[in-house]
Amino acid sequence: MSQENPAPSEQRRTALIYSPALVQAALPAQHPLKLDRPAQVRALIESYGLLAAPGVREVAPNPATVAAARSVHATDYVETVRRLSGGQQVPEMVAQRHGFSAFGDNPPYPGMFDFQLLVSGATLTAARLVHEGTVDAAFNPAGGINHHALPDQASGFGIFNDAAIALAWLRDQGLRVAYVDIDVHQGDGVEAAFVESDEVLTISLHESTLFLFPGPQGGLAEHIGTGAGRGYAVNVPFAPYTDDATWLWAFEEIVPPLLAAFQPDIVVTQLGADGYYDDPLAHLRLTTHAYETVIARLRDLAPRWVAVGGGGYDIDATARIWALAFGAMAGVELPNKLPPGYVAAYGGKQLRDPPDAAQSADTEPAVREFAEASVRTVRRLVFPIHGLSTA
C-alpha cells in the first residue's frame, strides 16, 4: 500500500477548508499556541495524496462579516477587537474587561481582527458547503481553538468563537444542530452561547475543570443548561491520567444515545488533540487509537458533518490526529508509514502510535470511578429529558 494510493473504504464528498492566509498570523514567540499548525496538517494530508482523491476538494474561505461575529459576540467586544488589532488606543480597563492582556492568554496582535474574521469565515464556509449538500463533510483545521471565547470576552486563546458562529448560522437556517467537543478543555464558550436554548445540543468531553482551565465554575457533569436549555448542555468530565479505554467507554455511553435521541440534521465537532498523552498543557493519556476510534464513530453518527480543529500543543501529534480525521471524513484508510516527503520536512515515522505509546497499563481505579460517576450523573440528569433510559 503506497502513500500515493491510500486505501478507499467508503468514498465521501469532503472539503478541506484552507488558504495560506489562515496560517499567516502569529502570537508572541513564547505563546503555546502556534497559529501556523494547519500548514503542517495540510502538508501531511497532501503528502498522502488525499487532496487528489476522488470526491475531495480544497476550498479557500472568505472572511466572515462583522454581522456574523455579532451573531454571537457583543457589539462593544467586536469593536474592542477591531481597535486592539489596529493598534488604536483602548483603555487598559476596557481591554482587560474583554479578556485581553499583553502577558496573558490573549495578547492582542497585529491583524487579529481580520484574521479572526477569516477563521470564522472558514468555519462558516464548511457549514455552508455541508448545508447546501455540496459535500458530506468539511474540515477547517484553523477553527475550533476559539471554543472558549465568550460573548463579551476573549478567553483561553479564543477571540471570535467560530464554532458558535457557525452553529448559530445553521440554527438560523432552521436546522437541528448538535455540537460534540473532544478537546481536553471544556467547550465553555460554545456552551455559553446556547446554554438557555433547546435548539442546539452541546456535548463536551474534557479533563475535569476541577483540575484544568477554565475552572470549576462550569464543565461539571451537574451543569446541564438552564431554562429551555436544561438538558441540552452536556458535560462529561474525566480525571487526570484517563486512558483510551475509559475515555472511549464514556463516549459510547453518552454520545451515541444522545445524538440518536436529538436527531440532528448536522453535527459540528471540535477535534481538539490536546488530550494526547504527550501534550504539554493537560494530563489525559490518550493515543491516536482513541482519536481514530472516536472520529470513525462520529463519521457514522453524523448525518452531515462539519469539523473544526481545536487545541493541540504537541504539533506533530496534532498533525497526525487531524490527518486521520480527514481520512475518515473522506472514507479513506491512510497507510501507517508516513510519506517520505512529509518525513523529510517534519520528521517522524508512523502515523499511528504503537500499542504501548502511553506507557500506561490499566487505568487507576480512582480514574475509572471518576468517569463512571460522570456518566451516571449525565444519564440521571440528562437522559430523561430526551426520553432515554437512565439504566
| Residues labelled as active-site residues | 148
- Cα separation, 306 vs 312, in Å, equals 19
Contacts of 27 (CB under 8 A, 6+ apart): 33, 34, 35, 107, 109
Handedness of CA 362, 301, 275, 221 (dihedral sign): negative
Which residues make Cβ contacts (< 8 Å) with residue 29, sequence separation at least 6? none
60, exposed or middle or buried, with CB in 10 Å at 0-12, 13-18, 19+?
middle
End-to-end C-alpha distance for the chain, whole angstroms = 45
> For residues 332 and 239, what is the distance between their CA atoms, to the nearest angstrom?
33
Residues 6+ apart with CB under 8 A from 22: 38, 61, 118, 119, 122, 142
Length of the chain: 391
The 3 state secondary structure assigned to 9-76 is CCCCCEEEECCHHHHCCCCCCCCCCCCCHHHHHHHHHHHCCHHHCCCEEEECCCCCCHHHHHCCCCHH
83: left (phi over 0), alpha (psi -120 to 50) or beta: alpha
